[in-house]
Structure 1
Protein backbone atom coordinates (compact mmCIF):
# COMPACT_ATOMS: atom_id res chain seq x y z
CA UNK A 1 0.00 0.00 0.00
CA UNK A 2 1.70 3.19 -1.20
CA UNK A 3 -0.46 5.94 0.28
CA UNK A 4 -1.39 6.67 3.87
CA UNK A 5 -3.80 9.09 5.50
CA UNK A 6 -1.85 9.57 8.74
CA UNK A 7 1.76 10.11 9.74
CA UNK A 8 3.81 9.86 12.91
CA UNK A 9 3.69 13.14 14.81
CA UNK A 10 6.54 15.03 16.48
CA UNK A 11 6.82 18.32 18.30
CA UNK A 12 9.57 20.31 16.60
CA UNK A 13 8.26 23.67 17.81
CA UNK A 14 11.01 26.25 18.12
CA UNK A 15 13.46 24.11 16.16
CA UNK A 16 15.13 25.00 12.87
CA UNK A 17 15.69 22.44 10.11
CA UNK A 18 17.99 23.10 7.16
CA UNK A 19 17.52 20.83 4.16
CA UNK A 20 19.79 21.07 1.13
CA UNK A 21 18.30 20.56 -2.29
CA UNK A 22 14.76 21.19 -1.07
CA UNK A 23 13.45 22.93 -4.16
CA UNK A 24 11.54 19.74 -4.95
CA UNK A 25 11.59 15.96 -4.66
CA UNK A 26 12.84 14.34 -1.47
CA UNK A 27 14.16 17.57 0.00
CA UNK A 28 10.85 19.36 -0.38
CA UNK A 29 8.97 16.43 1.16
CA UNK A 30 11.31 16.57 4.16
CA UNK A 31 10.86 20.34 4.53
CA UNK A 32 7.09 19.96 4.35
CA UNK A 33 7.19 17.23 6.99
CA UNK A 34 9.29 19.38 9.32
CA UNK A 35 6.91 22.31 8.89
CA UNK A 36 3.90 20.06 9.45
CA UNK A 37 5.44 19.14 12.81
CA UNK A 38 6.11 22.68 13.95
CA UNK A 39 9.71 23.33 12.84
CA UNK A 40 10.98 26.30 10.87
CA UNK A 41 11.99 24.65 7.58
CA UNK A 42 14.77 26.20 5.50
CA UNK A 43 15.65 25.28 1.94
CA UNK A 44 19.29 25.62 0.88
CA UNK A 45 19.12 25.13 -2.87
CA UNK A 46 19.94 26.94 -6.08
CA UNK A 47 16.20 27.16 -6.76
CA UNK A 48 13.35 27.97 -4.36
CA UNK A 49 10.73 25.57 -5.71
CA UNK A 50 7.04 26.37 -5.41
CA UNK A 51 6.81 29.31 -2.99
CA UNK A 52 3.01 29.44 -3.25
CA UNK A 53 2.54 25.91 -1.96
CA UNK A 54 1.34 25.33 1.61
CA UNK A 55 4.21 25.29 4.13
CA UNK A 56 6.67 26.62 1.56
CA UNK A 57 10.08 26.65 3.28
CA UNK A 58 12.24 29.75 3.66
CA UNK A 59 14.70 29.78 0.77
CA UNK A 60 18.35 30.79 0.81
CA UNK A 61 20.12 30.40 -2.54
CA UNK A 62 22.99 27.94 -2.17
CA UNK A 63 25.37 26.15 -4.51
CA UNK A 64 26.81 23.47 -2.25
CA UNK A 65 29.89 23.15 -4.47
CA UNK A 66 30.87 26.72 -3.53
CA UNK A 67 32.04 27.31 0.03
CA UNK A 68 31.34 31.05 -0.12
CA UNK A 69 27.73 30.32 -1.10
CA UNK A 70 27.28 27.99 1.89
CA UNK A 71 28.89 30.53 4.24
CA UNK A 72 26.51 33.25 3.03
CA UNK A 73 23.45 31.05 3.52
CA UNK A 74 24.65 29.94 6.94
CA UNK A 75 25.10 33.53 8.09
CA UNK A 76 21.66 34.49 6.76
CA UNK A 77 20.02 31.49 8.43
CA UNK A 78 21.61 32.24 11.79
CA UNK A 79 20.70 35.90 11.45
CA UNK A 80 17.06 34.94 10.81
CA UNK A 81 16.69 32.12 13.33
CA UNK A 82 19.73 32.14 15.62
CA UNK A 83 20.15 28.37 15.52
CA UNK A 84 20.22 25.21 13.42
CA UNK A 85 18.93 22.08 15.11
CA UNK A 86 18.67 19.71 12.17
CA UNK A 87 20.69 19.41 8.99
CA UNK A 88 19.57 17.12 6.19
CA UNK A 89 22.17 16.80 3.44
CA UNK A 90 19.92 15.88 0.56
CA UNK A 91 21.18 17.80 -2.50
CA UNK A 92 22.23 15.38 -5.20
CA UNK A 93 23.08 15.01 -8.87
CA UNK A 94 22.84 11.63 -10.59
CA UNK A 95 24.83 12.39 -13.72
CA UNK A 96 24.55 10.45 -16.97
CA UNK A 97 24.07 6.69 -17.21
CA UNK A 98 26.96 5.11 -19.09
CA UNK A 99 29.94 2.77 -18.69
CA UNK A 100 32.85 4.14 -16.64
CA UNK A 101 35.27 4.11 -19.59
CA UNK A 102 32.87 6.28 -21.61
CA UNK A 103 32.25 8.80 -18.82
CA UNK A 104 33.48 12.33 -19.39
CA UNK A 105 36.06 13.00 -16.64
CA UNK A 106 34.73 16.49 -15.93
CA UNK A 107 31.18 15.15 -15.58
CA UNK A 108 32.41 12.35 -13.28
CA UNK A 109 34.16 14.94 -11.14
CA UNK A 110 31.03 17.12 -11.04
CA UNK A 111 28.96 14.25 -9.61
CA UNK A 112 31.56 13.78 -6.88
CA UNK A 113 31.68 17.53 -6.17
CA UNK A 114 27.92 17.80 -5.66
CA UNK A 115 27.14 14.57 -3.83
CA UNK A 116 30.25 14.00 -1.73
CA UNK A 117 32.23 17.23 -1.45
CA UNK A 118 29.04 19.29 -1.16
CA UNK A 119 27.87 17.15 1.76
CA UNK A 120 31.32 17.52 3.35
CA UNK A 121 31.42 21.32 3.00
CA UNK A 122 27.89 21.87 4.34
CA UNK A 123 28.58 19.57 7.29
CA UNK A 124 31.95 21.19 7.96
CA UNK A 125 30.35 24.60 8.29
CA UNK A 126 27.15 23.64 10.16
CA UNK A 127 28.57 21.18 12.70
CA UNK A 128 30.38 23.93 14.69
CA UNK A 129 27.00 25.65 15.19
CA UNK A 130 25.65 22.42 16.68
CA UNK A 131 28.79 21.93 18.78
CA UNK A 132 28.19 25.28 20.46
CA UNK A 133 24.67 24.12 21.35
CA UNK A 134 25.85 20.64 22.42
CA UNK A 135 22.94 19.25 20.43
CA UNK A 136 21.86 18.55 16.89
CA UNK A 137 21.00 15.99 14.27
CA UNK A 138 22.65 15.46 10.89
CA UNK A 139 20.97 13.20 8.36
CA UNK A 140 22.78 12.41 5.11
CA UNK A 141 20.72 11.12 2.21
CA UNK A 142 22.96 8.52 0.57
CA UNK A 143 21.77 5.77 -1.75
CA UNK A 144 21.66 2.02 -2.08
CA UNK A 145 23.96 2.64 -5.06
CA UNK A 146 26.65 3.54 -2.54
CA UNK A 147 26.37 0.08 -0.97
CA UNK A 148 25.84 -2.09 -4.05
CA UNK A 149 27.50 -0.14 -6.86
CA UNK A 150 24.97 0.44 -9.64
CA UNK A 151 26.20 -0.56 -13.12
CA UNK A 152 26.65 2.39 -15.50
CA UNK A 153 26.44 4.78 -12.55
CA UNK A 154 30.02 4.67 -11.28
CA UNK A 155 30.33 8.33 -10.27
CA UNK A 156 27.07 8.41 -8.35
CA UNK A 157 27.81 5.06 -6.69
CA UNK A 158 31.29 6.19 -5.68
CA UNK A 159 30.03 9.52 -4.35
CA UNK A 160 27.29 7.93 -2.26
CA UNK A 161 29.69 5.29 -0.94
CA UNK A 162 31.79 8.20 0.25
CA UNK A 163 28.77 9.78 1.93
CA UNK A 164 28.07 6.50 3.74
CA UNK A 165 31.66 6.24 5.02
CA UNK A 166 31.72 9.91 6.00
CA UNK A 167 28.47 9.45 7.95
CA UNK A 168 29.98 6.59 9.92
CA UNK A 169 33.17 8.55 10.60
CA UNK A 170 31.45 11.79 11.66
CA UNK A 171 28.96 9.90 13.81
CA UNK A 172 31.83 8.40 15.79
CA UNK A 173 33.61 11.77 16.07
CA UNK A 174 30.53 13.45 17.53
CA UNK A 175 29.17 10.53 19.57
CA UNK A 176 29.70 12.28 22.91
CA UNK A 177 28.75 15.81 21.87
CA UNK A 178 24.95 15.51 21.83
CA UNK A 179 25.00 15.50 18.01
CA UNK A 180 23.80 12.37 16.20
CA UNK A 181 24.78 11.69 12.61
CA UNK A 182 22.95 9.09 10.55
CA UNK A 183 22.29 8.31 6.93
CA UNK A 184 19.48 7.02 4.75
CA UNK A 185 20.19 4.70 1.82
CA UNK A 186 17.10 4.67 -0.41
CA UNK A 187 16.67 2.50 -3.42
CA UNK A 188 15.02 4.21 -6.38
CA UNK A 189 12.54 6.89 -5.28
CA UNK A 190 10.04 8.59 -7.58
CA UNK A 191 11.63 12.03 -8.02
CA UNK A 192 12.74 14.30 -10.88
CA UNK A 193 16.26 12.94 -10.30
CA UNK A 194 15.19 9.75 -12.09
CA UNK A 195 14.52 11.82 -15.20
CA UNK A 196 18.29 12.16 -15.56
CA UNK A 197 18.47 8.38 -16.01
CA UNK A 198 17.36 6.27 -18.94
CA UNK A 199 13.95 4.56 -18.64
CA UNK A 200 15.60 1.15 -18.94
CA UNK A 201 17.97 2.01 -16.07
CA UNK A 202 15.02 3.01 -13.87
CA UNK A 203 13.09 -0.12 -14.79
CA UNK A 204 16.09 -2.23 -13.84
CA UNK A 205 16.02 -0.70 -10.36
CA UNK A 206 12.29 -1.38 -10.02
CA UNK A 207 12.77 -4.96 -11.13
CA UNK A 208 15.34 -5.48 -8.36
CA UNK A 209 12.85 -4.45 -5.66
CA UNK A 210 11.07 -7.29 -3.86
CA UNK A 211 8.15 -4.89 -3.41
CA UNK A 212 8.20 -4.20 -7.15
CA UNK A 213 7.89 -0.44 -6.93
CA UNK A 214 9.71 2.82 -6.41
CA UNK A 215 9.83 4.41 -2.98
CA UNK A 216 8.01 7.66 -2.27
CA UNK A 217 9.42 10.97 -1.11
CA UNK A 218 7.11 10.84 1.91
CA UNK A 219 8.62 7.53 3.00
CA UNK A 220 12.07 9.13 2.97
CA UNK A 221 10.73 12.15 4.88
CA UNK A 222 9.16 9.92 7.53
CA UNK A 223 12.50 8.25 8.22
CA UNK A 224 14.42 11.55 8.21
CA UNK A 225 12.08 13.02 10.82
CA UNK A 226 12.39 9.98 13.08
CA UNK A 227 16.18 10.28 12.89
CA UNK A 228 15.90 13.91 13.99
CA UNK A 229 13.40 13.22 16.75
CA UNK A 230 14.01 12.47 20.41
CA UNK A 231 12.80 8.93 19.66
CA UNK A 232 16.19 8.36 18.03
CA UNK A 233 18.68 8.50 20.89
CA UNK A 234 21.12 5.59 20.62
CA UNK A 235 21.78 5.46 16.87
CA UNK A 236 24.67 7.39 15.34
CA UNK A 237 27.03 6.65 12.48
CA UNK A 238 24.33 4.30 11.16
CA UNK A 239 22.88 3.85 7.69
CA UNK A 240 19.18 3.06 7.47
CA UNK A 241 18.07 1.22 4.33
CA UNK A 242 14.89 2.27 2.59
CA UNK A 243 14.79 -0.21 -0.25
CA UNK A 244 11.58 -2.20 -0.29
CA UNK A 245 13.53 -5.27 0.73
CA UNK A 246 16.27 -4.92 -1.89
CA UNK A 247 19.19 -4.25 0.47
CA UNK A 248 21.23 -7.33 1.36
CA UNK A 249 23.58 -5.81 3.97
Structure 2
Protein backbone atom coordinates (compact mmCIF):
# COMPACT_ATOMS: atom_id res chain seq x y z
CA UNK A 1 0.00 0.00 0.00
CA UNK A 2 1.21 3.51 -0.83
CA UNK A 3 1.92 5.51 2.32
CA UNK A 4 -0.27 8.53 3.03
CA UNK A 5 1.40 11.88 2.43
CA UNK A 6 0.78 12.82 6.04
CA UNK A 7 3.02 9.91 7.09
CA UNK A 8 5.71 10.22 4.43
CA UNK A 9 9.39 11.11 4.31
CA UNK A 10 10.35 12.49 0.92
CA UNK A 11 13.71 13.24 -0.72
CA UNK A 12 13.90 15.99 -3.34
CA UNK A 13 17.07 16.34 -5.40
CA UNK A 14 17.58 19.66 -7.15
CA UNK A 15 14.78 20.99 -4.98
CA UNK A 16 16.08 24.48 -4.25
CA UNK A 17 14.69 26.43 -7.22
CA UNK A 18 12.25 26.31 -10.11
CA UNK A 19 10.29 23.09 -10.56
CA UNK A 20 12.11 21.33 -7.74
CA UNK A 21 11.26 23.98 -5.17
CA UNK A 22 7.68 24.14 -6.43
CA UNK A 23 7.37 20.39 -5.91
CA UNK A 24 8.81 20.68 -2.40
CA UNK A 25 6.43 23.51 -1.56
CA UNK A 26 3.39 21.67 -2.89
CA UNK A 27 4.29 18.54 -0.94
CA UNK A 28 4.82 20.50 2.27
CA UNK A 29 1.52 22.31 1.84
CA UNK A 30 -0.17 18.96 1.18
CA UNK A 31 0.86 17.82 4.63
CA UNK A 32 4.12 15.91 4.11
CA UNK A 33 5.79 16.07 7.55
CA UNK A 34 9.42 15.35 6.55
CA UNK A 35 11.37 16.65 3.56
CA UNK A 36 15.05 16.33 2.69
CA UNK A 37 16.47 18.61 -0.01
CA UNK A 38 19.75 17.84 -1.76
CA UNK A 39 21.54 20.24 -4.07
CA UNK A 40 25.05 21.51 -4.70
CA UNK A 41 24.71 25.04 -3.38
CA UNK A 42 24.38 25.55 0.36
CA UNK A 43 23.24 29.17 0.00
CA UNK A 44 20.34 28.19 -2.24
CA UNK A 45 19.55 25.37 0.15
CA UNK A 46 19.24 27.81 3.04
CA UNK A 47 16.95 30.05 1.00
CA UNK A 48 14.77 27.09 0.01
CA UNK A 49 14.46 25.87 3.59
CA UNK A 50 13.44 29.35 4.74
CA UNK A 51 10.78 29.53 2.02
CA UNK A 52 9.44 26.09 2.88
CA UNK A 53 9.28 26.81 6.60
CA UNK A 54 7.35 29.98 5.86
CA UNK A 55 4.90 28.12 3.60
CA UNK A 56 4.44 25.07 5.85
CA UNK A 57 5.79 25.62 9.39
CA UNK A 58 4.76 22.14 10.55
CA UNK A 59 6.99 20.38 8.00
CA UNK A 60 10.46 19.30 9.09
CA UNK A 61 12.93 20.27 6.36
CA UNK A 62 16.60 19.39 6.13
CA UNK A 63 19.22 20.15 3.48
CA UNK A 64 22.30 18.30 2.30
CA UNK A 65 24.90 19.91 0.05
CA UNK A 66 25.64 17.16 -2.47
CA UNK A 67 26.31 16.82 -6.19
CA UNK A 68 23.74 14.18 -7.14
CA UNK A 69 25.10 13.98 -10.68
CA UNK A 70 27.82 11.80 -9.16
CA UNK A 71 27.34 8.32 -7.65
CA UNK A 72 28.85 9.52 -4.38
CA UNK A 73 26.55 12.52 -4.12
CA UNK A 74 23.39 10.62 -5.01
CA UNK A 75 24.25 7.86 -2.54
CA UNK A 76 24.94 10.42 0.19
CA UNK A 77 21.60 12.15 -0.39
CA UNK A 78 19.64 8.91 -0.08
CA UNK A 79 21.59 7.85 3.00
CA UNK A 80 21.07 11.24 4.67
CA UNK A 81 17.31 11.10 4.18
CA UNK A 82 17.08 7.54 5.47
CA UNK A 83 19.26 8.33 8.47
CA UNK A 84 17.38 11.52 9.36
CA UNK A 85 13.86 10.18 8.94
CA UNK A 86 14.17 6.40 9.12
CA UNK A 87 12.95 5.74 5.59
CA UNK A 88 12.35 7.18 2.12
CA UNK A 89 8.76 6.95 0.94
CA UNK A 90 9.15 9.03 -2.22
CA UNK A 91 11.82 10.65 -4.35
CA UNK A 92 11.28 13.64 -6.61
CA UNK A 93 14.38 13.79 -8.81
CA UNK A 94 14.78 17.12 -10.61
CA UNK A 95 18.53 17.81 -10.84
CA UNK A 96 18.84 17.32 -14.58
CA UNK A 97 20.69 20.46 -15.55
CA UNK A 98 19.51 23.44 -17.58
CA UNK A 99 20.81 23.02 -21.12
CA UNK A 100 19.50 25.55 -23.63
CA UNK A 101 18.33 24.47 -27.11
CA UNK A 102 20.99 24.78 -29.79
CA UNK A 103 21.28 23.38 -33.30
CA UNK A 104 23.49 20.31 -33.31
CA UNK A 105 25.93 21.57 -35.96
CA UNK A 106 26.63 24.58 -33.75
CA UNK A 107 27.48 22.47 -30.69
CA UNK A 108 31.18 21.58 -30.33
CA UNK A 109 31.40 17.81 -30.61
CA UNK A 110 33.48 17.54 -27.45
CA UNK A 111 30.63 19.04 -25.38
CA UNK A 112 28.05 16.37 -26.27
CA UNK A 113 29.11 13.63 -23.82
CA UNK A 114 29.09 16.04 -20.88
CA UNK A 115 25.68 17.46 -21.83
CA UNK A 116 24.21 13.98 -22.04
CA UNK A 117 25.83 12.95 -18.77
CA UNK A 118 24.75 16.03 -16.83
CA UNK A 119 21.10 15.85 -17.90
CA UNK A 120 20.72 12.15 -17.28
CA UNK A 121 22.94 11.52 -14.25
CA UNK A 122 21.32 14.15 -12.04
CA UNK A 123 17.94 12.44 -12.44
CA UNK A 124 18.82 8.76 -12.76
CA UNK A 125 21.47 8.33 -10.07
CA UNK A 126 19.22 9.44 -7.18
CA UNK A 127 16.57 6.98 -8.41
CA UNK A 128 19.10 4.17 -8.22
CA UNK A 129 20.31 5.35 -4.82
CA UNK A 130 16.88 5.15 -3.14
CA UNK A 131 16.02 1.68 -4.43
CA UNK A 132 17.53 -0.30 -1.51
CA UNK A 133 15.67 1.79 1.06
CA UNK A 134 12.33 1.55 -0.75
CA UNK A 135 12.76 -2.15 -1.39
CA UNK A 136 13.45 -2.80 2.27
CA UNK A 137 10.39 -0.75 3.24
CA UNK A 138 8.16 -2.61 0.80
CA UNK A 139 7.36 0.23 -1.57
CA UNK A 140 7.67 3.84 -2.57
CA UNK A 141 7.23 6.33 -5.39
CA UNK A 142 9.97 7.65 -7.67
CA UNK A 143 9.16 10.74 -9.74
CA UNK A 144 11.70 11.91 -12.33
CA UNK A 145 11.69 15.15 -14.31
CA UNK A 146 12.34 14.89 -18.04
CA UNK A 147 10.68 17.00 -20.75
CA UNK A 148 8.51 16.71 -23.83
CA UNK A 149 11.74 16.75 -25.84
CA UNK A 150 11.76 13.03 -25.02
CA UNK A 151 8.63 12.59 -27.16
CA UNK A 152 8.56 15.37 -29.75
CA UNK A 153 11.43 15.92 -32.19
CA UNK A 154 12.30 19.62 -32.21
CA UNK A 155 15.13 21.47 -34.01
CA UNK A 156 17.66 22.58 -31.44
CA UNK A 157 16.85 19.78 -29.03
CA UNK A 158 18.71 16.87 -30.59
CA UNK A 159 21.04 16.33 -27.65
CA UNK A 160 18.49 17.41 -25.04
CA UNK A 161 15.87 15.13 -26.57
CA UNK A 162 18.22 12.17 -26.56
CA UNK A 163 18.95 12.68 -22.86
CA UNK A 164 15.29 13.21 -21.95
CA UNK A 165 14.29 10.08 -23.88
CA UNK A 166 16.87 8.16 -21.85
CA UNK A 167 15.23 9.37 -18.63
CA UNK A 168 11.76 8.36 -19.82
CA UNK A 169 12.85 4.87 -20.90
CA UNK A 170 14.75 4.47 -17.62
CA UNK A 171 11.52 5.20 -15.74
CA UNK A 172 9.46 2.82 -17.86
CA UNK A 173 11.89 -0.06 -17.56
CA UNK A 174 12.52 0.52 -13.86
CA UNK A 175 8.77 0.59 -13.27
CA UNK A 176 8.53 -2.96 -14.62
CA UNK A 177 11.49 -4.12 -12.54
CA UNK A 178 10.47 -2.40 -9.32
CA UNK A 179 6.74 -3.15 -9.26
CA UNK A 180 7.44 -6.50 -7.56
CA UNK A 181 8.84 -4.48 -4.65
CA UNK A 182 5.85 -2.15 -4.50
CA UNK A 183 7.81 0.74 -6.04
CA UNK A 184 6.15 3.00 -8.61
CA UNK A 185 8.22 5.00 -11.11
CA UNK A 186 6.87 7.81 -13.27
CA UNK A 187 8.20 10.78 -15.21
CA UNK A 188 6.85 14.31 -15.53
CA UNK A 189 7.56 15.79 -18.95
CA UNK A 190 6.89 19.53 -19.14
CA UNK A 191 7.55 21.68 -22.17
CA UNK A 192 7.97 25.42 -21.60
CA UNK A 193 7.65 26.31 -17.91
CA UNK A 194 7.54 29.98 -16.97
CA UNK A 195 9.14 31.20 -13.77
CA UNK A 196 12.11 28.84 -13.82
CA UNK A 197 15.83 29.61 -14.12
CA UNK A 198 15.89 27.88 -17.53
CA UNK A 199 13.02 30.02 -18.81
CA UNK A 200 14.78 33.20 -17.72
CA UNK A 201 18.02 32.06 -19.36
CA UNK A 202 16.16 31.28 -22.59
CA UNK A 203 14.94 34.86 -22.85
CA UNK A 204 18.56 36.01 -23.17
CA UNK A 205 19.36 33.54 -25.96
CA UNK A 206 18.17 34.50 -29.48
CA UNK A 207 17.57 30.95 -30.72
CA UNK A 208 16.02 29.60 -27.51
CA UNK A 209 13.79 32.65 -27.07
CA UNK A 210 12.34 32.23 -30.58
CA UNK A 211 11.81 28.50 -30.06
CA UNK A 212 10.08 29.00 -26.70
CA UNK A 213 7.94 31.86 -28.01
CA UNK A 214 6.64 29.68 -30.83
CA UNK A 215 5.82 26.90 -28.36
CA UNK A 216 4.02 29.33 -26.05
CA UNK A 217 1.71 30.36 -28.89
CA UNK A 218 0.46 26.76 -29.06
CA UNK A 219 -0.22 26.59 -25.30
CA UNK A 220 -3.87 27.62 -25.62
CA UNK A 221 -4.64 26.26 -22.14
CA UNK A 222 -1.92 28.47 -20.67
CA UNK A 223 1.84 28.14 -20.42
CA UNK A 224 2.81 25.79 -17.60
CA UNK A 225 4.19 27.19 -14.35
CA UNK A 226 6.21 25.42 -11.63
CA UNK A 227 3.11 25.00 -9.48
CA UNK A 228 1.51 22.83 -12.16
CA UNK A 229 4.36 20.36 -11.80
CA UNK A 230 4.15 20.63 -8.02
CA UNK A 231 0.50 19.60 -8.08
CA UNK A 232 1.32 16.60 -10.27
CA UNK A 233 4.19 15.61 -7.97
CA UNK A 234 1.78 15.57 -5.02
CA UNK A 235 -0.51 13.22 -6.93
CA UNK A 236 2.30 10.90 -8.00
CA UNK A 237 3.71 10.67 -4.47
CA UNK A 238 0.32 10.01 -2.93
CA UNK A 239 -1.91 6.91 -2.64
CA UNK A 240 -4.19 8.52 -5.25
CA UNK A 241 -1.75 7.23 -7.91
CA UNK A 242 -1.22 3.82 -6.32
CA UNK A 243 -2.06 1.99 -9.58
CA UNK A 244 -0.06 4.28 -11.85
CA UNK A 245 3.49 3.40 -12.87
CA UNK A 246 5.74 3.53 -15.92
CA UNK A 247 4.11 6.67 -17.29
CA UNK A 248 5.57 9.85 -18.79
CA UNK A 249 3.02 12.58 -18.18
CA UNK A 250 3.12 15.79 -20.19
CA UNK A 251 2.23 19.15 -18.65
CA UNK A 252 2.34 21.61 -21.51
CA UNK A 253 -0.89 23.61 -21.86
CA UNK A 254 -1.66 21.96 -25.19
CA UNK A 255 1.64 22.62 -26.98
CA UNK A 256 1.55 19.00 -28.12
CA UNK A 257 -0.38 15.81 -27.45
CA UNK A 258 2.75 13.83 -26.65
Q: TM-score, normalised by structure 2?
A: 0.86
Matched, 1:55 2:49: no
* Contact 2:94/2:144 (<8 A) preserved: yes
Who is 1:235 aligned against?
244
Deviations 1:56-109 (A, max 9, x none): 742111212211122222222222111110001111223243210211234332
After TM superposition, the structure 1 = structure 2 runs for residues 191-202 of structure 1, keeping only pairs within 5 Å, are: 191-197=196-202, 198=205, 199-202=209-212
Who is 2:8 aligned against?
15
| Deviation at residue 14 of structure 1 after TM alignment | 3.0
Who is 1:248 aligned against?
257
Who is 2:57 aligned against?
none
| Deviation at residue 239 of structure 1 after TM alignment | 1.3
Which of 206, 229, 237 is the matching residue for 1:220?
Answer: 229
Query: Following the alignment from structure 2 to structure 1, what is the Cα–Cα distance between the partners of residues 211 and 225?
Result: 18
**Which shows bigger deviation, 191-200 or 121-130?**
191-200
* Contact 1:32/1:41 (<8 A) preserved: no
**Which shows bigger deviation, 120-129 or 43-52?**
43-52
| Deviation at residue 27 of structure 1 after TM alignment | 0.5
Q: Secondary structure at the match of 1:181?
A: strand
Q: Gapped runs of 5+ residues in structure 1?
A: 1-9
| Deviation at residue 38 of structure 1 after TM alignment | 2.5
* Contact 2:78/2:126 (<8 A) preserved: no
Find runs of 4+ consecutive structure 1 residues off by over 6 angstroms: none
Q: Gapped runs of 5+ residues in structure 2?
A: 55-60
**Which shows bigger deviation, 232-241 or 198-207?**
198-207
**Which shows bigger deviation, 99-108 or 146-155?**
99-108
After TM superposition, the structure 1 = structure 2 runs for residues 75-224 of structure 1, keeping only pairs within 5 Å, are: 75-190=79-194, 191-197=196-202, 198=205, 199-211=209-221, 213-224=222-233
Count residues in correspondence.
239
Query: Following the alignment from structure 2 to structure 1, what is the Cα–Cα distance between the partners of residues 108 and 191?
Result: 25
Which of 22, 32, 35 is the matching residue for 2:25?
Answer: 32
Whose helix fraction is larger, Structure 1's or Structure 2's?
2
Matched, 1:45 2:43: no
| Deviation at residue 49 of structure 1 after TM alignment | 5.4
Q: Which has the higher contact order (CA 8 A, sep 6+)?
A: 2
Query: Following the alignment from structure 2 to structure 1, what is the Cα–Cα distance between the partners of residues 112 and 215?
Result: 21
* Contact 1:31/1:42 (<8 A) preserved: no
* Contact 2:123/2:145 (<8 A) preserved: no
CA RMSD of aligned residues (A): 1.9
Q: TM-score, normalised by structure 1?
A: 0.89
Q: Secondary structure at the match of 1:174?
A: helix
**Which shows bigger deviation, 33-42 or 128-137?**
33-42
| Deviation at residue 232 of structure 1 after TM alignment | 0.8
